[in-house]
Amino acid sequence: MFYGTWWSLVPPLVAIILALVTKEVYISLFCGVFLGALFVGNFHIWKAFTVLLNTMVKSIDLKIIIFDVLLGMIVVLMGKSGGTSAYGRWATKKIKNKRQAEVTTSLLGVLIFVDDYFNCLTVGSVMRPVTDKFKVSRAKLAYIIDATAAPVCILAPISSWAAAVNSYVPKGGAINGFQLFVSTIPFNLYAILTLFMVFYTSARGFDFGLMAKHERNAENGDLFTSYADEFKDEMEEEKKNVNRKGKVRDLILPMIVMIGSAIGAMIYTGFLSGSKTVAAAFANCDVETALVFSMLITIVFIAFLYLPRKLVSFSEMMQALPEGAKMMIPAILILTFAWTLKGVTDRLGIGAFFSNSLNLTSTGVAFIPVIIFFIAIFISFSTGTSWGTFSILVPIAISIFNNTNIEMMIITVSAILAGAVCGDHVSPISDTTIMSSAGAQCHHMNHVATQLQYAIPVILSCGIGYVIAGFSRNWWLTLLISLCLLIAVLAFIKRYSGNNGEKITPFERKIEEGNL
């Protein structure tokens, strides 16, 4: 009786509200999942239990879990070899101040565009020693990682995200999936403006709201602000096991192999599916299989690179697998609950609810992009998945405009992709948000709270931008006005806030000046 009704929204909303109130992600997600299972089972306890268990089993993406464990193993091996610390020592010689550290972290995030999970964990482990030295808070590091993960992937035609979007475009339409994806890039306002926001705040040394508080604490030696004990053992273990024999190439070469083999495997799986061109291969590739394959290739390469030089012993290499798995357990746990929540909401017909509720054709055509942008934010935020949002809304948008108005179809699909990434970006139950917290070794709710405030100016600029896009249908005019609006909002925040964007009371100012 709950199927396809507004009740399908209740479980994810309960999980999100509990996570924000209690700051305990595991129990919040479990409550949302169990409530959804009760709805599916019509409040019969045994039925609810079987629904929960079966949905969890069916929803778990084992390939992603294998990928996470293998990636954790690679991160551990890079640390044991001394490659990560060697890069940190090299970077600290080249990087002279905090702003350069933040900009360099942002650039590394942009360069790793193949997959957001890989991006989150790699950038975090590589740049953490550098950002720690220059007193960048863990919350700011987590924000930089998260803001250069999904936004970069959704703009890169060669990425797991591009492949996911391609898979949601019905065949036989006026435009194929790959062409549609490429056409959406200049209209993907949230991704572009978020990347601008990252580099702007990093280069200008400008922070505001809760982030400014975290940054001020970091300047005084407190990188975490709260929940530092959560990562105490891990940090001590890293310091204890620093290997001075490692070189920068021991980090760089495995990363090159990882990215190269991932791209090669994606193309190969695409050709196996019957594709005739490279573009078609990317559109039809098996991303998850390709990523697992690239992890295995990288581990074999690492063995030949490290073992002969005795950077790690054979027993240490074998031990890296359980260590890597242990490191990834918190992220895997949250991912499992998040996947199960998505599975339960699917069984409750959340997609059918939105499909039946959206009478988009009755609205002025020019306003469809901005309306669907905010709907995509809501769905993605509530479910914690941008890919699931793509699967719900992209077919709807294509069915409205296919063979009638290709230009508006491109703009509307762009708004869906932007809104889905936005909702995923700020949702506490999103996998990329979780992985960014793990990569930065930042308490998850600290990351969520600080990142949300940074996303709001971008969301407002995008909302106005999609109204302009609906009327002008001109990407450069839309992007230019949206960018100018974002700069104006940031200038307003900076002007009417205290030091570094944080509101300072007269009492606090007297303390800082030493007059009290």
The mean per-residue pLDDT over the stretch 73-88 comes to: 80
Q: What is the pLDDT of residue 215?
A: 93
- Would you state the pLDDT for residue 474? 94
CA distance linking residue 26 with residue 23, whole number of Å: 9
* % the chain with pLDDT above 90: 30
> b or e along 427-464 (b: 16 or more beta carbons within 10 Å of the residue's beta carbon)?
bbbbbbbbbbbbbbbbbbbbbbbbbbbbbebbbebbbb
- Per-residue pLDDT at 496 exceeds 50: yes
Average pLDDT over residues 172-185: 77
- pLDDT score of 233: 62
pLDDT for residue 224 is more than 90? no
Mean pLDDT throughout 404-425?
A: 91
Measure the CA–CA gap between 269 and 169, rounded to whole angstroms: 19
Stronger pLDDT, 301 or 258, i.e. the higher one: 301
Distance from C-alpha of 327 to C-alpha of 206, rounded to nearest angstrom = 32
The DSSP string of 27-85 is HHHHHHHHHHHHHHTTT-HHHHHHHHHHHHHHH--HHHHHHHHHHHHHHHHHHHHTHHH
DSSP 473-495: --HHHHHHHHHHHHHHHHHHHHH
pLDDT value for 391: 66
pLDDT at 95 over 80: yes
The reported pLDDT for the residue numbered 471 is 92
Q: Please provide the average confidence, as pLDDT, over all residues in the chain.
A: 82
Q: What is the pLDDT of residue 498?
A: 57
Look at residue 69 in the predicted model and tell me its pLDDT.
Answer: 85
Using CA atoms, how far residue 11 sits from 2, 8, 30, 340, 381, in Å, is 12, 7, 10, 11, 12
Are 423 and 10 within 8 A, CB to CB? no
Residue 414: per-residue pLDDT: 95
The more confident residue out of 504 and 273 is 273
- Is the pLDDT at 462 greater than 90? The verdict is yes
The reported pLDDT for the residue numbered 507 is 39
Residue 516 has what pLDDT?
39
Q: What share of the chain is helix, strand, coil (3-state, %, to 5)?
A: 80, 0, 20
pLDDT tens for residues 12-45? 888 877 766 776 767 888 888 899 899 888 888 9
Give residue-wise pLDDT tens across range 131-164: 998 999 999 999 999 999 889 989 987 665 666 6
For 251, 432, 452, the CA distances from 194, given in Å and listed in that order, are 28, 15, 12
| Cβ partners under 8 Å of residue 513, min gap 6 | none
As a whole number, mean pLDDT of residues 359-367 equals 65
SS3 254: helix
Q: Mean pLDDT throughout 291-305?
A: 91
Mean pLDDT on 177-187: 85
Q: Which of 28-37, 336-345, 471-480 has the lowest average pLDDT? A: 336-345
What is the pLDDT at residue 323?
85
Q: Is the pLDDT of residue 512 over 50?
A: no
82 CB burial (10 A radius; 0-12, 13-18, 19+): buried
Question: Quick check: 417 pLDDT over 90?
Answer: yes
Torsion of CA 32, 60, 320, 144, to 10 degrees: -60
Residues in the chain: 516
Mean pLDDT for 160-171 is 64
Dist. CA 75–CA 82, nearest whole Å: 11
Q: For residue 357, what are the CA distances in angstroms to 11, 278, 337, 420? A: 19, 39, 27, 18
Alpha helix (H) residue ranges in 82-176: 83-94, 98-111, 116-133, 138-147, 150-153, 160-167
Given this model, what pLDDT does residue 214 score?
Answer: 94
Comparing CA positions, the residue from 374, 366, 378, 456 lying closest to residue 411 is 366
pLDDT value at 216 more than 70? yes
